Amino acid sequence: MKSRTYRNCLVKFLTLGFLIMFTNRLSSQSMIQVWADEFDGMIDNSIWSFEKGFTNDNIHYYTDRIENAKIVNGKLQIIALKETYMGANYTSALLKTNHTLNFKYGRIEARIKLPGTPGFVPAFWMLPEDNLFGWWPISGEIDIMEHPTNQINKIYGTVHTQAYNSFTGSGPRGSNITIPDAETEFHVYAIEWTEEQIDFYVDEQKYYTFSNDLSGSATWPFNQPFYVILNLAVGGGWVGEPTNSTIFPAVMEIDYVRVYQTINDISISGPDFVFYDNQGVSYSTADITGASYLWSVPSDAQIVSGQNTNQIQIDWGIIGGNLSVDVNTNDESINIEYSVEVSPNLINNSSFEKGVKYWEKAGSLPAEADFILSTNDIHTGQHSLYVDVKTPGNNTWDAQLSHKNLKLQSGKQYHVSFWAKAILANSSINAAIINSGSSWK
C-alpha cells in the first residue's frame, strides 16, 4: 500500500512537471509577431542605420557602402573586405535599429549563416535605446549570438551589466554551445526575454538563462527598451588578426530578423524629441494581422496619414504631450501611450531626463575621466551629469561630452547656452560647435 502511494505521488509529480513545462512553452508560442525584416528588396534605410568608422579594439573601418552590406537573393549579406580605406586595412558593416525600432521583452530571433574563416566576430546583439542608467556597460548589453571564428564550433550568448563586465574583474555572464555546422548552415539564434529572465537559444535548444536577482539596475538593467544590431567585426583581442589562411571576402548572411511579443509588451516607436512645427514625423506600433488601430494625438498636432493602420505620420505644432493608440485584436485590446517633447531646442534630451540617450562621451589618453549620471545638482529634468577628470589631457577636448547631428543651417543665427559648473579652482569648461569635417565653425 505504501509503495502504491509513492508511485501515485510520483506520477502526479511528473504529470505536474510536464504541465508546467508545456505551459511555459505555450506562453512563448502565444506571442504575436510584431516586426520582421525578411530582407526582400533593398535595405530599409527607414529602419536600419549604419555605424561608420573605427570601433573598439577591432581593425576594420565600418562603412555604409553596398560593397559591405547588400541584399542578395532575399538575404542580407554583411561583407568584410581586405582593402585600404580611411586609414584601415579592412572594411565591414554594422547595421542597427537605433532610434527607429526598439523592444522591451519578447522573443528576438534571426536566422544566420556565419563566415568560416579565421579573424572575425559576427554578432547579433542589442543595446539600450535610452541608456537610462548611464553609458556602457551600466545600462546593459545583450549578446544574442557571438561567434569568434577561430573557435569554429562555438556560439556565445552573454549579458553585460554594471556588476558583470570585463572592467570590474567579475566578467560578463553567459555561456556557449557547440554548433558543428554554424559556418556552413543557417541556424536560428534567439532570446526569450521577460522581466524575470533572459533565455538564450540556438534553434529550439536553450543553453543559458540569466535571471533577474531583484537587486537593481547594477545586475538587471534589462527593464528598458533595447534596439537590434547586426555586424561582422574584423580582428580584436578575442580572435586576433586575420591570417595568411583567411579568405576574403568574409560574409555573414542573415535570412531574416523577427520579433514576437505579448500584446501587453508592444510599444510605439518614433522620435521622442521633435522641433517646433516638425512635419510628417512617422510613428508605428506592432503590425498585427487582423488588428484594428485608433490613434490619438495632442490638440496641437495633426495626423496627416495612416489613421486605422499601425503606422501614422504627424504634423507637430508647438505643444508636445502623449500620443496613443488603441490596438484591438479578436482576443485582446490595449491602449499604448508615448510621450513626445516638442521644443525649439535642437539638442535632444538636453537635461538628461532620458538617461544619456543621444549623448556621447569620449576620452583621449593620457586623459582619464568618469562620466556619471547623477541626481545631484539638478537644474531641470531628472538628472545631471558629473564628469570626474582623474587625469587631465594634453588638449581641452581630450575629455568631452558631445551631441551629434545638430540640424544647423547656413546663414541662420543660433543661441547656445548651457548650465554647468567646475568644482575645483583653476578648472575650465569649454563649449564648441564642430562641423562634420571636424573643423571649427
| Separation in Å, CA 213 to CA 177, 194, 219 | 24, 13, 7
Q: How many Cβ atoms from other residues are within 10 Å of residue 94's Cβ? A: 24
DSSP string, 198-212: EEEEETTEEEEEEE-
3-state SS assignment for residue 15 = helix
* Active-site residue, selected from the candidate residues 109, 129, 146, 192: 146
Contacts of 260 (CB under 8 A, 6+ apart): 28, 31, 32, 33, 34, 106, 107, 109
Q: Which amino acid is at 256?
A: Y
List the Cα angle 325/103/221 in 5-degree steps: 125
3-state SS assignment for residue 145 = strand
Q: Is 141 an active-site residue? A: yes
Torsion angles phi and psi, residue 91, rounded to 5? -130, 155
3-state SS assignment for residue 338 = strand
C-alpha 138, offset from chain centre: 14
Q: How many Cβ atoms from other residues are within 10 Å of residue 384's Cβ? A: 19
Q: Which residue has the cell 542608467?
A: 133
| Residue pair 314/342 in contact by the 8 Å Cβ criterion | no
| Residue pair 316/274 in contact by the 8 Å Cβ criterion | yes
Q: Is 368 an active-site residue? A: no
Between strands 333-343 and 273-275, the pairing is: parallel
Between strands 60-62 and 88-92, the pairing is: parallel
Do you know the residue count of the chain? Answer: 441
Rounded (10°) CA dihedral 88, 91, 96, 100? 80
* Active-site residue, selected from the candidate residues 141, 195, 204, 337: 141
CA distance 408 to 405: 9
Q: Which amino acid is at 314?
A: I
- Tell me which residues are annotated as active site: 141, 146
